[in-house]
Structure 1
Amino acid sequence: MKLGYLFPGQGTVRVGMGGWLRRRPVARDRLDLVDALLDRPISPLCARGPLDRLVATEHAQVAVTACNLAALAVLAEEGHAPAVVAGHSVGELSALHAAGVLALADTVRLVETRARLMAAVGERGGMRAVMGLPVERVEELAEAAGAPGEPVVVALENAPGHVVVSGSPYALDRLTALATDASKVVPLQVGNAFHSPLMAPALPGWAAAVRAAAMREPRVPVVPNVTGEPTTDVATLREALIGQLTGRVLWTRTVAAVDAFASGVEVGDSKVLTGLSRRAEARCLSMSDPATLRRLAKAVAA
């Protein structure tokens, strides 16, 4: 049975995250190692909050990555290995580590850098999920709602009927008023307009950090967010990682690429990607489900 590892992003953080992982020695060791690599340990904030600090960009990206890496260690201990990997937004860095492209310390360092640079942009915008509309219709709404100095774009193609827009608060309000044919428009609890032109101030520092990082040829294909196509080319992976800071996350296409030749496993402490995969009629199990490891063991044995 071939497995496709899917790593969640920062929208999955919550107080108490990683609790089940700390009951596994190998995962606890990995969480402790990540804490040791950070300027400030993230585990206490994951365990006890407060939520407003945990969801802040500079903490959320590190928190979800720590859980992703701990869950990856559990799968390795169980004898599993991926045939293909992908990660949602900041989760792409976890995927690159799982594929052998980035060493653990470099992964943690890049995530910490990404979070710091994005947080330093300041609160310039937000994000909203537009439910029940195809991406083409949401693109029309974004074009109609945008204005000079007040952009709004499609940021995440998460699943059929689940599109996230990102941009200026004023443009987001106009888009919400125009989207009378949507089943609902939901504001997301994020600190800024990620995957939009408003992240451009962070791009030079991020590009410099990514280009300076040591990257090795991947052991398995990686599906970058901005292409949705599997690749083993290091130069492509490097440029895709830079581009996704302001570029669109093509998650629907990414899930389809993984599902074409592997069964998905959401590697972390989240069920969000599992839900999105099911909306796209793709196979996926969440490691947050206690039954998942037993199911994987049975499937491999069969």
Structure 2
Amino acid sequence: MITTQVAFLFPGQGSQAVGMGADVFAASPAAKQVFATFDQTLGFALSELCFAGPEETLRSTINAQPAIVAVSLAYLAAFQEALSSSYSSWSIPFTPAYVAGHSVGECSALVAAGAVGLSGVAQLVRERGRLMHEEELACPGGMAAVIGLDEGVLQEICQEVIQGLQASDVRHPGQGQVIIANYNAPGQIVLSGEQQALEAALQIAKERGAKKVIPLAVSGAFHSPVMAPAVAQMAHSLSVTAIQNPQIPLIGNITATPLTSVEELREELAQQVASSVQWTRTIEYLVSQGVTTFFEIGPGKALAGMNKRIAKGATTINISSVAEIEKAVELVREMGLVQ
């Protein structure tokens, strides 16, 4: 049975932390199987990196991306496992009306939607991380959240910086580029770009009244022209990944509308690495479709914080620990979401 008022959300890069997933690995056979599949597919102990670090290695894009997806899917598996044991019949599973993921969280959403298996997504997200890491090295940059300026002002600032840094000798498509990468929530927008361009944009933003500028815990300029060379290679990887039509509509980062076919998913996931994440519009779309309850499944609570700004009347339930799984199962029962 599809629960029409529910959506599952999955976090993106920056939500990683050493120790994540260790509790659910110890408590849930289903979660342990997710980690085992990732470890076996990737050929190294990703699970140990999640549980014990070191932090610097975990933070590296090539590791952080598969780690976040593995942990998110482990919590999802444990949640469904706990629901299964809590009800006399598992013939009516807890199925959301929609799924969505922020940036790399879209890979977690792929699995939740039934479009890709665990081994397939492990290979895909590791390659995604590798390709984006290559562009980090080729054109160093970063990302920063800007609090208190609207998108119009920030777009103008980005254009000013790009025009001011125009050079005749452009060795990389990201050189001198900075754009709005994440429309996270009203008043919280993330800029991304090549280092010099990003620093210039942030300085102007402060001068024009930004309340706060917060550098993100990422090592590259994701969702910007710096990542443009990775798009074609990502498209190739997707072309050889076994993908099915999603059983649950996945709301895409680029268009903030449902993706319902293999072709749409492949196009989205390739272009997404260098395109802006329309998260505010994603949540607004879900609310417009009648979603009132969101489950944020995976490390951290970033998406819940954004939801408070976008969908003020909605309920967001975090699942990032075994204790939270137990609370979520109780809430599902109390809300009558599963019979």
For Structure 1 versus Structure 2, the TM-score category normalised by the shorter chain is over 0.9
The answer for the alignment partner of 1:107 in structure 2 is 121
Q: Is the 8 A contact 2:157 2:204 kept in 1?
A: yes
Letter of the 2:32 partner, please give it: R
**Partners in 1 of 2:259 and 2:219 — Cα distance?**
31
**Partners in 1 of 2:239 and 2:296 — Cα distance?**
28
The answer for the alignment partner of 2:64 in structure 1 is 60
**Partners in 1 of 2:195 and 2:135 — Cα distance?**
15
Post-superposition offset of 1:209: 0.6
The answer for the alignment partner of 1:285 in structure 2 is 317
The answer for the alignment partner of 2:42 in structure 1 is 38
Post-superposition offset of 1:231: 2.9
Structure 1 residues without counterparts, runs of 5 or longer: none
Corresponding residue to 1:165 among 180, 191, 195: 191
Corresponding residue to 2:200 among 165, 174, 178: 174
Post-superposition offset of 1:33: 2.0
Name which of structure 1's ranges 128-137 and 253-262 shifts more when overlaid on structure 2: 253-262
Residue deviations 1:216-265 (CA, integer Å, cap 9, x gap) = 11111110100001231322222111110100000111112223322211
**Partners in 2 of 1:116 and 1:301 — Cα distance?**
40
**Partners in 1 of 2:187 and 2:123 — Cα distance?**
35
> Any idea what SS the aligned residue of 1:11 has?
coil
Per the normalisation by structure 2, the TM-score is 0.85
**Partners in 2 of 1:177 and 1:81 — Cα distance?**
46
The reply on whether 1:119 has 2:133 as its aligned counterpart is yes
The answer for the alignment partner of 2:23 in structure 1 is 20
Corresponding residue to 2:146 among 130, 136, 152: 130
Residue deviations 1:12-40 (CA, integer Å, cap 9, x gap) = 00111112322222212222222121121
**Partners in 1 of 2:334 and 2:320 — Cα distance?**
18
The answer for the alignment partner of 2:160 in structure 1 is 144
Name which of structure 1's ranges 54-63 and 69-78 shifts more when overlaid on structure 2: 69-78
Corresponding residue to 1:274 among 274, 282, 304: 304
**Partners in 2 of 1:150 and 1:17 — Cα distance?**
36
Structure label with greater radius of gyration:
2
Instruction: Work out the percentage of aligned pairs sharing the same amino acid.
Output: 38
**Partners in 1 of 2:23 and 2:333 — Cα distance?**
19
Letter of the 1:194 partner, please give it: F
The answer for the alignment partner of 2:8 in structure 1 is 5
**Partners in 2 of 1:5 and 1:110 — Cα distance?**
21
> Any idea what SS the aligned residue of 2:317 has?
strand
Letter of the 1:292 partner, please give it: A
**Partners in 1 of 2:156 and 2:57 — Cα distance?**
35
- Count of aligned positions: 302
Name which of structure 1's ranges 80-89 and 288-297 shifts more when overlaid on structure 2: 288-297
RMSD: 1.6
Letter of the 1:267 partner, please give it: I
Q: How does 1:215-294 map to 2 (within 5 A)?
A: 215-260=243-288, 261-262=290-291, 263-280=293-310, 281=312, 282-288=314-320, 290=324, 291-294=327-330
Per the normalisation by structure 1, the TM-score is 0.95
Letter of the 2:79 partner, please give it: L
Q: Is the 8 A contact 2:184 2:306 kept in 1?
A: yes
> Any idea what SS the aligned residue of 2:218 has?
coil
**Partners in 2 of 1:107 and 1:173 — Cα distance?**
34
**Partners in 2 of 1:188 and 1:8 — Cα distance?**
14
Residue deviations 1:37-64 (CA, integer Å, cap 9, x gap) = 1121211111111111111001100110
